[in-house]
Structure 1
């Protein structure tokens, strides 16, 4: 976005979009329905404000299931869209000492952030990636339901409520069947798309990385080659270390930054546990950290970050994991 570009912030709601357009330092507001008709109404309003759509950057927060359809709809109308982490908007609001909060204020805040910070345009995930992500989210929901029902079944069995326990057992068995079906759908979906299949085969060559983790990474991250380095990918996933030291008085413990998607970090935890024992490139690394006195959980976090570096390396190079490959080059 250049200096002459126009910034518009959108506060995305389930039913409404609240837009704020900055023109000559003044805010002009517009609310429309969160629908394809509303997207067209918004762009028509922007045109009446003498805004050139091809030089306008629309900025919005990442708000789960609601922001992406809006971004896709506006992109289809020729607008450049940026989706930013809500933590950035919150920090920007604190820097301005914003005290109040409502839809209009939030939209204006996002517009000012867009004007001053010039966030990068959002690149829409491919349709196959979006579908894979939906299947992965559905699989996780089914597994969570299965665990809840298994816990309820156990509680009813202990309480000698056998009829209810049997009902719960039948539901658990049904959930297991559904889980197997969704897992097959995910495998078939990856196999049907060459790029997903290529990246999946490369990731599967890394000891500790299984099918479930691969599906989540490909669904939520997509093409890893869009990141300029492994460090950038690790930061995107929220597995980079975060230090907390200042002067001589503050000596906080280094921790994982956790700024990325929680689903991807959860999917990396168990692979890191397995890799720290069975991956030759990471076992010595984990043992060395243990010997230096690092807590077990912190070691797992460090291994998660190293796994991300390995994943980036094999996808970027197109070469499957090789235990005897120079470690420095493999993790760069």
Structure 2
């Protein structure tokens, strides 16, 4: 057996943090023996990434055996390293955090440290056959710009909402100096102007990409869904690049249902909320609108809430339905059809 055949798989598991990341280099031999070639922490900056890359190259004694770098999609902290490795023609696999979490549970891990997590992620990469859609491809440059603008729009909207609450409090307070109220009003007006400017810039970028613009037009044909909402969903999911099916997407958004039952005990059914809160925030107002003005979703909303005094469950169900609609229309690149058979939505795969 020659040297290039001694190893069948090489994986570097990476546990990403804001300032540091921990790496574990594992290799699988043809005899199914797993060898740890090293573990080390690095700073999450350019200097640390360059050191990490050299560290990996020095341990890759079998270039004929592919090396895959596996990491979690943890906020935005993984992005710089993922781009750094991708630009050097490395195979990068970015996995949903919940997928890694469930794998860790299956391994019955009781200790949680950065070092242990990096070993577990490397083990995940060794066990799984990471190829095809598992290999990360970054969004286009224009899409990344749209995503950055979308997040800035969200920040401006939140700041404006906070300022409006502060203005209301000032107006109700006793003997507040008029100049303070004027300044707060000017601040709110500034936020609104910036919101509109960011929105127009996003619209220009979208129109430059004909494929993206056509897909968006199909999606915003759904009553209740507007341009900003759809852009925010696409931005927070990287255009659904990491998702293979609807179940993964719903779980990522924290809109999956949790049931607690044991014997005669029946707990409350609720959503997990263990996911991307920005997606849920983006869908809340559109769901309220759709439950009133979208004929299909209004019927669905009323059916869910039949016999209920609290209407929250129906609203959450509409949020989930809207998310699935966006995903389906994006993947199929089709326009929304009123009264379309809902069963077809559940069959869509990435």
Calculate the TM-score normalised by the size of structure 1: 0.86
| CA gap 1:18/1:289 in 2 versus in 1, 3 angstroms | closer
Q: Distance in 2 between matches of 1:62 and 1:327?
A: 30
Shift, 1:294, TM fit: 7.6
What is the CA deviation profile of residues 229-275 of structure 1, one whole-angstrom value per residue up to 9, with x for unaligned ones? 544543443323333334x2342333223343221121111111111
Aligned counterparts of 1:114 and 1:250: Cα–Cα separation in 2 = 39
Q: Distance in 2 between matches of 1:286 and 1:144?
A: 28
Cα distance change, pair 25–234 in 1 and its aligned pair in 2 (3 A): same
Moved more, 79-88 or 133-142: 79-88
Match of 1:47 in 2: 57
1:70 equivalent to 2:81? Answer: yes
- SS of equivalent to 1:25: strand
RMSD of Structure 2 on Structure 1 (CA): 2.8
Q: 1:81 aligns with which of 72, 82, 92?
A: 92
Equivalent residues of 1:153, 1:169 under 8 A apart:
yes
Consecutive unaligned residues in structure 1, runs of 5 or more: none
Q: Rate the CA distance shift 1:302–1:100 in 2: closer, same or farther, 3 A.
A: closer
Question: Quick one: distance in 2 between partners of 1:85 and 1:112?
Answer: 16
| Cα distance, 1:51–1:128 mapped onto 2, change above 3 Å | farther
1:1-332 pair list within 5 angstroms: 4-23=8-27, 24-26=34-36, 28-49=38-59, 50-52=61-63, 55-90=66-101, 92-93=103-104, 95-99=107-111, 101=113, 103-117=114-128, 120-159=134-173, 160-162=175-177, 163-224=179-240, 229-246=245-262, 248-293=263-308, 295-329=310-344
Q: Distance in 2 between matches of 1:90 and 1:231?
A: 16
TM-score for the superposition, normalised by structure 2? 0.82
Report the CA distance between 1:151 and its aligned residue: 1.8
Which stretch shifts more, 103-112 or 303-312?
A: 103-112
Contact 1:191–1:197 (8 Å) recurs in 2:
yes
Are 2:95 and 2:242, in contact at CA under 8 Å, matched by a contact in 1?
Answer: no
